[in-house]
């Protein structure tokens, strides 16, 4: 079934941090409509596709997106309106060609992604089928059967997501011992509540919730977050490491300076060798099953060393390292750096390129985690993408804030009404065997 675009309209909205972002509404011949809202990151890698901002200091502190909106309503609308496309890959190819820049800096990845996702929704509506099924049909799944992903849920935050109360950006749980997605969410809520109680009992200053809804306590060290989270899992009634494990997002690029890793809250500077030793000890002392961006985005030599040391023990995710870019992921695979990739649509700009990265990961034996951004909207598109990809893992944020719950609630809806199976521990099986 082809798609012929009748109308495209973009406009400016606000994301979860109160920063402008783009919404796109699209109408096809026959009356089917689709819409999309694009997310934005705070902890961004320098190799990401360009998120076009106006730069006008007198309007939203330079973060307005009116130029990107204009690009949709003028350049993209003129090029696509009235054209018939055989499917989303052909439409995305036209968008990529129209921009012409490898980093999408002419029209903006935020503008292009909004159109790509809105067109997908319109096509799904035209076919009267769930969005995840349309995406699976258009791009193919990593597995033979679509499945609900295992969530990686934010409980404690630091870094750029929480005013750098601690240096590491996020400490999350992975409820791999649950048999349903609904059970995994019940577990996450219980651990989130238990963590708050422990923070208060210990007398740590609770500064509120961070960008992604996790607690933002003022802790004495990064390791203390691991102790607190392990205790919270147990207090919630689960067995650490057996039913619920820990994932960390170091976002190490943001405390990397002149070849050293500067932990400002601990007044320490570590070499790459020293931080690798620290991470290795933590995987022995705590139920850590996944580490994201444990080293800086261009510290390739030490990423290879980290992978050789820890790759058999834990999932090592590249976010800033790969920025959902096919070329960087292929480079990492050839070097032996990391064993997993974080997949964020807006880092690359189209659905076609997003699925290309997922296929590269699959073919290389890397796991993949479909991820939201710290600046999110109420758009639940990511939930359907995670199902369609078959990746088996999703990272949305915590269990508070509506922009996070929109994705979780969409997954709960699909489980309840469409009966898809839950991935459970299978995406992490190779690392859980050591427990």
- What is the rounded distance in angstroms from the CA atom of residue 135 to the CA atom of residue 411? 15
Q: Give CA angle at 122 (118, 123), nearest 5°.
A: 120
**Look-up of token digits 């800096």:** 105
Helix (H, G, I), strand (E, B) or coil at 318: strand
CA dist 384 → 11, 221, 379 (Å): 23, 37, 11
Burial group, residue 189, by CB count within 10 angstroms (0-12, 13-18, 19+): middle
The residue from 51, 136, 212, 415 that is catalytic is: 212
- What is the rounded distance in angstroms from the CA atom of residue 39 to the CA atom of residue 32? 24
Are 363 and 336 in contact by the 8 Å Cβ rule? The answer is no
Residue 167's nearest CA partner among 41, 262, 288 is 262
- What is the rounded distance in angstroms from the CA atom of residue 292 to the CA atom of residue 287? 15
- What is the rounded distance in angstroms from the CA atom of residue 296 to the CA atom of residue 283? 19
Residue 163's nearest CA partner among 127, 115, 214, 199 is 214
Residues 6+ apart with CB under 8 A from 252: 261, 275, 293, 294, 295, 296
The residue from 63, 104, 344, 395 that is catalytic is: 344
Burial group, residue 284, by CB count within 10 angstroms (0-12, 13-18, 19+): exposed
Our answer to whether residue 104 is catalytic in this structure is: no
Alpha-carbon Rg for the chain in angstroms: 21
Our answer to whether residue 344 is catalytic in this structure is: yes
Residue 36's nearest CA partner among 111, 133, 141 is 111
- What is the rounded distance in angstroms from the CA atom of residue 356 to the CA atom of residue 34? 23
Task: Characterize the bridge pairing of strands 268-270 and 367-371.
Answer: unpaired
Residues 6+ apart with CB under 8 A from 51: 40, 41, 44, 108, 109, 110, 346
Residue 51's nearest CA partner among 71, 21, 93, 18 is 21
Are 359 and 142 in contact by the 8 Å Cβ rule? The answer is yes
Catalytic residue IDs: 212, 344
């Amino acid at each position: 079934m082809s798609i012929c675009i009748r109308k495209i309209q973009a406009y400016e909205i606000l994301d979860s941090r109160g920063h402008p972002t783009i919404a796109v509404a699209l109408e096809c011949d026959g009356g089917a409509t689709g819409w999309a809202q694009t997310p934005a990151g705070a902890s961004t890698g320098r190799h990401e596709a360009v998120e076009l901002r106006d730069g006008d200091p007198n309007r939203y502190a330079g973060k307005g997106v009116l130029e990107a909106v204009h690009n949709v309503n003028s350049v993209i609308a003129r090029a696509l309106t009235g054209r018939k496309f055989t499917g989303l890959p052909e439409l995305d190819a036209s968008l990529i060609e129209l921009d012409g820049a490898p980093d999408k800096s002419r029209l903006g990845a935020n503008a292009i992604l909004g159109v790509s996702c809105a067109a997908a929704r319109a096509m799904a509506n035209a076919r009267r089928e769930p969005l995840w099924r349309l995406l699976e049909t258009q791009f193919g799944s990593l597995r033979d059967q679509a499945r609900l992903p295992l969530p990686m849920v934010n409980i404690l935050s630091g870094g750029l997501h929480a005013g750098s109360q601690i240096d590491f950006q996020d400490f999350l749980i992975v409820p791999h011992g649950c048999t349903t997605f609904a059970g995994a969410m019940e577990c996450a809520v219980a651990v989130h509540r238990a963590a708050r109680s422990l923070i208060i009992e210990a007398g740590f200053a609770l500064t509120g919730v961070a960008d992604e809804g996790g607690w933002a306590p003022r802790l004495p060290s990064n390791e203390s977050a691991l102790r607190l989270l392990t205790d919270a899992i147990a207090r919630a009634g689960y067995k650490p490491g057996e039913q619920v494990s820990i994932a960390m997002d170091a976002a190490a690029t943001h405390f990397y300076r002149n070849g050293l890793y500067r932990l400002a809250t601990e007044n320490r500077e570590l070499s790459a060798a020293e931080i690798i030793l620290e991470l290795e000890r933590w995987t022995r002392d705590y139920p850590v099953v996944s580490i994201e961006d444990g080293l800086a985005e261009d510290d390739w030599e030490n990423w290879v060393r980290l992978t050789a040391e820890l790759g058999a023990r834990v999932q090592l995710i590249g976010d800033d390292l790969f920025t959902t870019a096919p070329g960087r992921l292929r480079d990492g695979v050839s070097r032996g750096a990391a064993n997993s990739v974080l997949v964020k649509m807006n880092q690359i700009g189209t659905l076609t390129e997003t699925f290309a990265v997922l296929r590269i990961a699959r073919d290389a034996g890397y796991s993949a985690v479909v991820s939201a951004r710290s600046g999110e909207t109420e758009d639940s598109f990511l939930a359907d993408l995670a199902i369609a990809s078959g990746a088996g893992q999703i990272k949305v944020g915590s269990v508070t804030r509506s922009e996070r719950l929109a994705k979780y609630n969409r997954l709960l809806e699909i489980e309840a009404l469409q009966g898809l199976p839950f991935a459970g521990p299978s995406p992490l099986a190779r690392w859980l065997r050591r427990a």
